[in-house]
Amino acid sequence: MPPQVSAQAIVPPLMARLNFTRHIMVETTTKPIFGSGDYHIPIPFGPTRHDRFKVLISPDNWRQSAQKEFNSATWSGYGYFWGINDPFNSLLGVIRVFRLRSKEKPGVGFPTAAFYAENSHHHFTYKEPRVPYDHQAGWFIDNYFSAAWSAWEDPKSGVSSLDRDAAKNMAAQHIRCPQDFVRVRFMRAEKWGLQETDYLFRPDIEGISANPASTFNGSDWHPNNIHQYPEKMAYVEKLKEWATSFWSEYDKHFSDSK
C-alpha cells in the first residue's frame, strides 16, 4: 500500500504564505511527506484573496485528491495530487508530485524527460546539460488546460490516470475548477531517483481572466495566443522570476531526499 499522506504532513500551519494579489512567492516551507521522512516537497501556497473577499487559507486546507503507485523492472514510486480550496469550494491551487526510486544502487537511471525536446507549448524552458540515464534537470512554464478534467470518465481523453482519479474525487465533492492554470514543472533525475513536481497557479485570482475555450489550443494562455494579452504575458514573466529563484531550493530538497 502507498504511504498515506495527511494534510498536516504536507505543511505545518502558518508557515507557508502566498499573496496572489501582490507577489507570486513570498515564503515557502518544506515538510517530509513520508513517514520515514525521506522525501521533502517545497509548499509555496498559503493566504490568498478570492474575488473581493480576503480569505485566509491555512496550509491545513490542503487535501490529497489522488495517489498512484508506479512500477517498472528497474524503479518504483508514487504519484500524488493535492489541491487547496477556498471556503466557496473553488480550487485555488494544485501540487502534483511524481517520486521514483531505482530498485538497485546506484541504479540504472531514467529515460530522457520529454521537456528536453523542443516544445512549442512551453512559455519558457530551462534545461541543464543532460547525461543519458544519469543527470537531467530543469523546469518549464506552460498552460495547464484543466477544463479537460471534465472528461475524467473517458479513458481515451488523454487525461492522465492520476488526474482522472483526482477529477473524479473533486466532482464527487462538488469542487469547482477553473478553465486554466499556469503550470511550473520542476524535474530532476539521477541514477538513484527522479522527482517531478507541478505547481499549478490560478491567474484569475489576480483578476486575470480568460475567454472561454473548448480546447487547449484555443485558450488565451496558449503560447500562440498569449501575445495578445499583455497582462497574461506579465503574469508568466512573474512566474519565471519566481521559478528562477526557487530552482536552487527545489534542487537542494531533491538532493536532501537521497
Q: What is the chain's alpha carbon radius of gyration, rounded to the nearest angstrom?
A: 18
Q: What is the mean pLDDT of residues 53-62?
A: 50
pLDDT above 70 covers a percentage of the chain that reads 75
Identify each DSSP E strand in 48-119 by its residue range.
48-50, 53-55, 62-71, 75-85, 91-102
Whether residue 194 lies inside any domain: the answer is yes
Q: How confident is the model at residue 64, as a pLDDT?
A: 85
Whether residue 149 lies inside any domain: the answer is yes
Whether residue 107 lies inside any domain: the answer is yes
Q: 95-109, 181-195, 213-227: lowest mean pLDDT where?
A: 95-109
Convert the pLDDT of each residue in 182-197 to its tens digit: 999 999 999 998 989 8
Classify 227 as helix, strand or coil.
Answer: helix
C-alpha cell of residue 245: 529563484
In terms of average pLDDT, the best of 33-37, 54-58, 60-64 is: 60-64
CB 82 within 8 A of CB 63: yes
Cell 473533486 -> residue: 170
CB proximity list for 108: less than 8 A, separation 6 or greater = 74, 102, 133, 191
Whether residue 162 lies inside any domain: the answer is yes
Number of helices followed by number of strands (H, E) in the chain: 3, 11
Residue-averaged pLDDT of the chain = 76
Total domains present in the chain = 1
Whether residue 18 lies inside any domain: the answer is no
- Cα torsion at 41, 47, 51, 53 (round to 10°)? 160
Amino acid occupying residue 215: T
Whether residue 50 lies inside any domain: the answer is no
Whether residue 57 lies inside any domain: the answer is no
Q: What is the mean pLDDT of residues 227-243?
A: 92
Q: How confident is the model at residue 123, as a pLDDT?
A: 93
74 vs 84: CA distance, rounded Å: 34
Backbone angles phi, psi at 9, to 5 degrees: -75, -20
Range of the domain at 138: 65-256
CB 184 within 8 A of CB 199: yes
Whether residue 122 lies inside any domain: the answer is yes
pTM (two decimals): 0.80
